[in-house]
A and B are shown apart, each in its own frame.
Chain A
């Protein structure tokens, strides 16, 4: 075993005998593009609605609920798909979230929420994860589209303008504090702050 490692190390550490430096540089460059591009394409594929709804856990529960909401059906035809709200857009944050999502693969394999009943039982816990995440990053995924700096309060209803110009403007509250359950149905809200 030790001999084997030694032999490989010798091969790797010694200069190339047959291939030119140009070939190795260009080859490495092209291979880099292919690997990196392939990696990114595959990762972007896991961000598509097609991918998310290819599991019945998502398709027949949360996806059905999303479809009647303003983020899916609206006058202007702008639509937020799953990853717009549930995956960070920055690359490093996205990678971190994708690694976390390996737990969701585990859940899929072992059928953690593979029936409607199991899903409803677990819904509070799942929702709380998302609320905590959005609370921690100051509702970053909301703000990717709904930028506070671009909000015109005069176009909002009085109640909305009052809340947004006070609690939201001062940073005392963030989007998710009030706007829970806007894209999916709510879990049992007994005991949740702000709910009765």
Chain B
């Protein structure tokens, strides 16, 4: 009988948890917690090769083509076989930004900087898919216009 307070406390906790779970919590999961919702179909990667507008000047440009199976690791960098300085004449692909040839002190290097090596950290493909959440981003031009300047 000496465990009674602990049991009572546990029961109380359980009650609170159940009450919280019963409330309608907004999630992007699309189904009850104990159900496996049908996943959306995999969207296709845009392969149009059309450059996209950047949302702000410093934005890393998004990739306008498929990059399936592109190997970027310590042995090889498939992206650089077209986009490096040495390769652009033959490939006619845009050269990676000059900032990629700088170390963190701003010194220029002969080759791509190690801190810029993994392209996918910033540059990504785009899919023809509806966004999961509403994007409230406002372009700087619109912001300035709204400010009356």
Q: Which A residues contact B (CB, under 8 angstroms)?
A: 68-70, 157-159, 181-182, 185-189, 194-196
Contact = CB atoms under 8 A, between A and B. Distances in A.
Contacts of A187: 75-76
A196 B69 CA distance: 18
B91 to A, nearest CB: 9
Contact of A182 (B65, B69, B84): B69
B49 A157 contact: yes
Given A158-B49, A196-B81, A186 B65 contact: no
Given A159-B49, A195-B81, A186 B69 contact: no
Contact of B69 (A70, A159, A189, A194): A70
Contacts of B68: 70
B80 interface: yes
A157 B80 CA distance: 20
Interface of B is mostly: loop
B123 interface: no
Nearest to A195: B81
Contacts of A70: 68-69
Interface of B: 47, 49, 65-66, 68-69, 71, 73-78, 80-81, 84, 86-87, 111-112
Majority SS at the chain A contact face:
loop
Nearest to A163: B91
A188 B76 CA distance: 6
Given A70-B68, A186-B76, A189-B76, A196 B49 contact: no
Contact of A196 (B65, B71, B73, B87): B87
Given A195-B81, A196-B86, 4 more contacts: A158-B49, A159-B49, A186-B75, A194-B81
A170 to B, nearest CB: 15
Contact of A157 (B47, B69, B112): B47
B69 A69 contact: yes
14 contacts: A70-B68, A157-B65, A157-B66, A158-B49, A159-B65, A181-B71, A185-B71, A186-B71, A188-B74, A189-B75, A189-B77, A195-B80, A196-B81, A196-B86
Contacts of A159: 49, 65
